[in-house]
Chain A
Amino acid sequence: MAKRELEEINAGSMADIAFLLLIFFLVTTTMNFPKVLEERLPQKIDDIIDPPLVKKENVLEILANKNDQILIEGSRGEIEDIKDKVIEFYVHPINSTIWPKLTPINESMANQYIEKFKVLSAQYPDDNRYADTLNRWEIKKGVIDAIGTYNEISDKAMITIQLDNATSFKTYVSVLNEIMAGINELRAELCLAKFGIPYNKIEKSKVPEDQAKVKILRAVYPKRIMKAKSKNSQR
């Protein structure tokens, strides 16, 4: 047998090795990426202070009781109703008395305030308030530059969720989810109208231009959700 010169390396066990690795990865990994709803807890305040008085129209009050029933602005509602209420809370006629005040912001107004607070913050460099206000107006100016005149919702406007101790987590999540659905719908609408791209394309983007756009949309429709302390559950 002179022909047998090249002895083939037996590659049969290679498959076994690869299978072992494959099975290891199948067992230790998971396919579905976790998807989350994010929230920021309020900072801990040591001494008890009386909450500042808020006007009724500045608050969208949502209450979930121990039986997981929903009360929106004092009247019985369903989870699905929350989204429409949230949208109404942000977008409504300017002269409305039951919803938060909307202030139309235009360029000359923004410029005027920026000038004013530039002078003031230079005059009183120790007082942070002037610098803060200046900063806020500069953000508004940025929004106007990008999308033009817009109606700004009162900075005291907020959505409060009141929960009972026995409210289920499921109910809390669905309330939170519906509120976010409302806000996201408004942002998506504005995004499509002004930038011509869907909001969900840029929401989690890492590109600085996209992030600037998201920031603008968030400035117009800010997410201000507060978990209020539950009152007594008899209600």
Chain B
Amino acid sequence: MSKFSKGKKKSQPAISTASLPDIVFMLLFFFIVTTIFKEKDTKVVVKAPLATEITKLDRRTDQIYYWIGKPSNKNYGTGYRVQVDDALAPDMGAIRAYLIERRGGDLSEVWDKVINNFKIDEKVNMRIVKNVQEELRNEDALKVAYTLKDKK
């Protein structure tokens, strides 16, 4: 050791970290610009089917999310469950109740601006999908979109 540092007591100058914040800020801005917020916490596991004819949805569109899949937590059961926005729906009637709560008192044409975004597991059978959509039709919420995976 003493062989190398013989005579000289001068210590190495520290590497300047002054530019580190700049680099990190650059990364930060990159992520702010290129990503979007996760919409909701999902309580069910969904493997969406593949499709080719899908289009991007305007991210500012008012949306209600529906997930249909098996709960990730076994305490919620092992069958397919429907999650509407934040909560698992205990039954189909709860979906309509949620829609009524969402639109408020007036029966105006609110539903023309709202897209009901479905994320459905590929194995779910159409009976469940039909039952959920029947609730939407009861409330006249007719705009539906299915979030799917791009095949490309």
A interface with B by C-beta (< 8 Å): 11-12, 14-15, 17-19, 21-22, 25-26, 28-31, 33-44, 163-170, 172-174, 177, 180-181, 184, 203-204
Q: Complex formed: what's the CA distance from A137 to B36 in Å?
A: 44
Q: How far is the CB of A51 from chain B (nearest CB, A)?
A: 17
Whether B101 is near chain A, meaning CB under 8 Å from some CB there, is no
Interface of B is mostly: mixed
30 contacts between A and B (CB under 8 A): A15-B24, A18-B25, A21-B28, A22-B24, A30-B36, A30-B38, A34-B57, A34-B117, A35-B56, A35-B57, A35-B150, A36-B54, A36-B146, A37-B146, A37-B148, A38-B143, A38-B145, A41-B136, A42-B142, A44-B137, A164-B126, A165-B125, A165-B126, A165-B130, A166-B125, A169-B49, A169-B121, A173-B49, A174-B49, A203-B55
CB of B141 to closest CB in A, whole Å: 8
A164 to B123, CA, bound (A): 14
Interface check B147, CB cutoff 8 A = yes
Q: Is the Cβ of A33 less than 8 Å from the Cβ of B49?
A: no
Interface size on B, residues (CB 8 A): 51
Bound complex: CA A234 to CA B28 (Å):
59
Q: For residue B124, give the distance in angstroms from its CB to the closest CB of chain A.
A: 5
Q: Which residues of A contact B4 (CB under 8 A)?
A: none
Inter-chain contact A39/B146, CB cutoff 8 Å:
yes
List 19 additional A-B contacts (Cβ < 8 Å) besides A168-B126, A169-B49, A173-B51: A11-B17, A18-B25, A25-B35, A28-B38, A29-B36, A30-B37, A34-B57, A34-B147, A44-B137, A44-B138, A165-B130, A167-B125, A168-B125, A169-B68, A169-B129, A172-B129, A181-B52, A181-B53, A204-B56
- The one of B117, B122, B127 that contacts A166, using a Cβ cutoff of 8 Å: B127
Query: Which residues of B are interface residues toward A (Cβ below 8 A)?
Result: 17-18, 20-21, 24-25, 27-28, 31-32, 34-38, 49, 51-57, 59, 68, 115, 117, 120-127, 129-130, 133, 136-138, 140, 142-150
A170 to B140, CA, bound (A): 26
Distance (whole angstroms) from the CB of A185 to the closest CB of chain B: 10
Asked whether, in the complex, the Cβ of A35 is within 8 Å of the Cβ of B55, the reply is yes
**Docked-complex contact A168 and B124, CB < 8 angstroms:** yes
Contact of A163 among B54, B57, B120, B126 (CB under 8 A): B126
Which of A12, A15, A26 neighbours the largest number of chain B CB atoms within 10 Å of its CB?
A: A15
- Measured between C-beta atoms, what is the minimum distance from A17 to chain B in Å? 8
Is there contact, CB below 8 Å, between A41 and B133? yes
Neighbouring B residues of A184 by C-beta, 8 Å = 53
Q: Which residue of B lies closest to A18 (CB)?
A: B24
CB neighbours of A11 from chain B (8 A): 17-18, 21
Q: Is the CB of B21 within 8 A of A174?
A: no
> B36 to chain A: which residues have CB within 8 Å?
29-30, 33
Instruction: Tell which of B28, B133, B140 has the most Cβ of chain A within 10 Å.
Output: B28
Taking each of A12, A29, A34, A43, which has the highest tally of chain B beta carbons within 10 Å of its own beta carbon?
A: A34
Partner of A165, one of B59, B68, B121, B127: B127
CB atoms of A22 and B27 under 8 A apart: yes
Residue of chain B at shortest CB distance from A227: B130
B144 near A173 (CB under 8 angstroms)?
no
Whether B142 contacts A41 by the Cβ 8 Å rule is: yes
Chain B residue at smallest Cβ distance from A181 = B53
* CA gap between A49 and B104 in the complex, in Å: 31
